[in-house]
Structure 1
C-alpha cells in the first residue's frame, strides 16, 4: 500500500469526519478507480494510465483547493477508490485528516511530497511553511510522472509495460514544454519581465523561467488582501511601468480591479493581460483542461501581454497540438 500523509493537519468539521468513518466502501467495480484532488494530478494520471484506469477529479475548473471542503458526494467518490491521489505540501489543507483516515484501508499517495524533495521547494513564512504550487515549474512537476506510473502499475500490473512507455513519452513532452516556456518568457523585454497576479501562486514559475513575480495575496487565498497590500503592488506597477497584470480563474477579480484603480491614481495605466490558471486547469474538453495546455495558455498570455513573442511549439508537442488544434 502506498501511503504518504500530508504534513498539515487542518481538521474538517466533525460531522464530515463522522460521515467518512460511518460510510462503508462501495462495491468494487471492474478495473481500478482512481480519485485525484486536483486536475494537474488527474490529467497526468489519466494520460499515463490510459484505458487501464478511470480517473475522477474532485476539484474541477474554477475550484480553489485552499478553501475546498469535502462534500457527501466526495465521500461516495472516495469510497469507490482503488487509489487516492493528492498533492500534499499543504495544498489540500482541510482534507489532510480525511486522506489520513482513508490511508488506513486504501492506497493513498501525496504525489508532490513523494516525487519532489523538500530541498527543491520554496519555503515561505506563514501558515503553510511550504509553497504547494509546484506544478508551475514543469521540470519539478515532471518528477511526479514516474511516481504516478509506479502507483498506477501497482494497481494495474497487467498494464505495467504500457504505462511505462506512455510515462516516458509524456515526460519527454514535459521536457520540451519546460524549454519552450523558458524561451517564451526570455523574449519579454527585461524591464517588463514582471508577473503580477491575485495571489502568490507563481513563485516556482518565476524561479524556473526568469521572471519577477508579485502576488497581491499570499500563497493561500484564505485571507483577504489588505489595503496596504493593494497600495504596495500599485506602487510597484508604477515604479516598473508594468503594462499588464493578470486575473486567476479560481479567484474573484475584485482585488485586481482595486490594484488597477490604485495604479491609475499613481499615474500608471495598466490593463488586465488575461486570465491565468493557477490552482485549477481550464474547462474539461479544452486544451487548457490539460496540464500541458494549462502551462501553454498561461505562458502565451503572460508573454504576449508583457511584450514578448512566443516561439513555435517544439516537435515533441506536435501530437498534443494537433489533438487540440493549436498552431
Structure 2
C-alpha cells in the first residue's frame, strides 16, 4: 500500500472517529428506549402512531412486500430476540416469519398477536382462520384497545405512559371516523353490484362488516403461495359473467397477470383496478399509512363497483 493511500485511510478513520464522538450521545439515548419489533408494515404503522417518540419501533416487512412470502435476514432474526415486545398478526399471515417469532418467544421475548384481539373470521373453504382483519377498521380498533396497555407499560415513566394512552385515544378516534366514512361510501353502491373478485381471499372481514359478496378469487386461497387450476379460473370467469361483474381488483404486492387474464376471458367489459391490500405503499406515495391505504381502497372500491 502506498504512503499516500495509507494517509488517506488514516484521515478517513480519524474523521469517522470524530463524528462518532460528536454524535455518541444520540445512539446511546436511542438504544435505552424500549424496542418493539413489528412483523408487517400495516401493524408497524399503527404501532408507530400509538407510541410516538416514547418507544423505538422496528418494522420488519418493507413497503410493497408480500407478507406470505417475506423472509428475514439473519441480522433481523437476531435482533428480534433482543426486543422488548414483538407485535405479529398471529393468524398465520407471516408464513416466513413464524419460526423467528417462536424462537424469540422461547427466549423470553413478549409477543402480542393481533389476531387474539379480533373477531376471527374463518375462510369459507374451511382452510383455517382469515388473517386479513385490517380490512375492517372496527377490528383494528379492537387491536388498538388490546395493545395500548402493553405499549403504555413499556414507556419509561408515568408521563410517557400517559402520552401513549393519549395518542392511542386520538388514533382510535381516527379509526372510528374511517369506519364511518367507509360505511357512507359503500352505502352508495347498489346491492346488485356488491360482488368482490380479487387476487386471493383478502376481503372477508370487509365483506362481513359492509355487506359485500365475495364472489371469488383468482387464487382460491388465503395465501398467495397457492396456485389456481385452469378449472378454478374458468369457474371464476363463468361467475363473473353470471353476476355481471364490471370491475375486478388486483393487489399492489402481486403481479396482476391473472386478473388481466380473467378480464380478457370474460364476455363483457371488465376493468382491473389495483388495491393496496396486504402492504402499505412506499413512503411518500398514496396509501403509505394504514389510514390512507384504507381510504384509497375505499375510493377505488366504491368507484369500481359503481361503474
Q: Shared fold (TM-score greater than 0.5)?
A: yes
Cα distance, 1:207–1:90 mapped onto 2, change above 3 Å = same
Q: How far, CA to CA, are the matches of 2:138 and 2:299 in structure 1?
A: 18
**Cα drift, residue 38 of structure 1:** 0.6
Residue aligning to 1:178: 179
Match of 2:132 in 1: 133
Question: d(CA) in 2 for partners of 1:167 and 1:261?
Answer: 46
What's the counterpart of residue 31 of structure 2?
Answer: 29
Count residues in correspondence: 275
1:63 aligns with 2:62: no
Q: Which has the higher contact order (CA 8 A, sep 6+)?
A: 1
User: C-alpha separation between the residues in 2 aligned to 1:107 and 1:76?
Assistant: 12
Q: 1:115 aligns with which of 114, 117, 124?
A: 117
Partner of 2:86: 84
**1:317 is matched with which residue?**
none
User: Counterparts of 1:137-156 in structure 2 under 5 Å?
Assistant: 137-156=136-155
For the 8 Å contact 1:37–1:86, the answer to whether it is kept is yes
Distance 1:251 1:63 in 2: 9
Of the candidates 89, 101, 104, which is equivalent to residue 102 of structure 1? 104
Label 1:86 to 1:183 Cα distance change in 2 as closer, same or farther (>3 A): same
Which residue in the other structure is 2:245 paired with?
242
- Say if 1:125 and 1:96 are closer, same or farther in 2 by CA, change over 3 A: farther
The aligned counterpart of 2:256 is: 253
Structure showing greater radius of gyration is 2
Q: CA deviation at 1:142?
A: 1.1
Counterparts of 1:60 and 1:166, CA distance in 2: 24
Aligned to 2:24: none
SS in 1 for 2:98: helix
Counterpart CA distance in 2 for 1:169 and 1:148 is 14
User: What is the CA–CA distance in structure 2 between the aligned matches of 1:126 and 1:241, rounded to whole Å?
Assistant: 23
The 8 Å contact of residues 85 and 112 in structure 2, kept in 1 or not, is answered as: no
User: Structure 1 residues 78, 285: CA separation in 2 closer, same or farther (over 3 Å shift)?
Assistant: farther
Deviates more, 1:89-98 or 1:174-183: 89-98
User: Could you tell me which of 40, 50, 55 is aligned with 1:53?
Assistant: 55
Q: Is the 8 A contact 1:237 1:268 kept in 2?
A: no
Q: CA 1:244/1:113 → structure 2, altered by over 3 Å: closer, same or farther?
A: closer
5+ residue gaps, structure 2: 1-27
Name the structure 1 match of 2:231: 228
Aligned-partner SS, 2:282: coil
Q: Using the alignment, how far apart are the partners of 2:246 and 2:52 within structure 1?
A: 42
When the two structures are superposed, what TM-score results if normalisation uses the length of structure 2? 0.84
What displacement does 1:33 show?
2.1
The question of whether the paired residues in 1 share the 8 Å contact of 2:276 and 2:293 is answered with yes
Take 2:222 and 2:110, find their aligned partners in 1: how far apart are those partners? 25
Q: Answer yes or no: is the 8 Å Cα contact 1:139–1:178 preserved in 2.
A: yes
User: Displacement, 1:79?
Assistant: 4.4
**2:120 and 2:208 mapped to 1: Cα distance?**
11
Alpha-carbon RMSD? 2.0
Distance (Å, rounded) in 2 between the aligned partners of 1:249 and 1:255: 13
- The verdict on how the C-alpha distance between 1:253 and 1:60 changes in structure 2, with shifts beyond 3 A counting, is same
Gaps of 5+ in 1: 1-26, 309-327
- Deviation per CA, 1:182-214, whole angstroms, max 9, x where unpaired? 211111122211121111001111111111122
Match of 1:324 in 2: none
Shift of 1:97: 2.5
Aligned to 2:4: none
Instruction: Determine helix, strand or coil for the equivalent of 1:67.
Output: coil
The whole-number CA distance in structure 2 between the counterparts of 1:128 and 1:39 is 25
* Cα displacement (A) at 1:105: 3.3
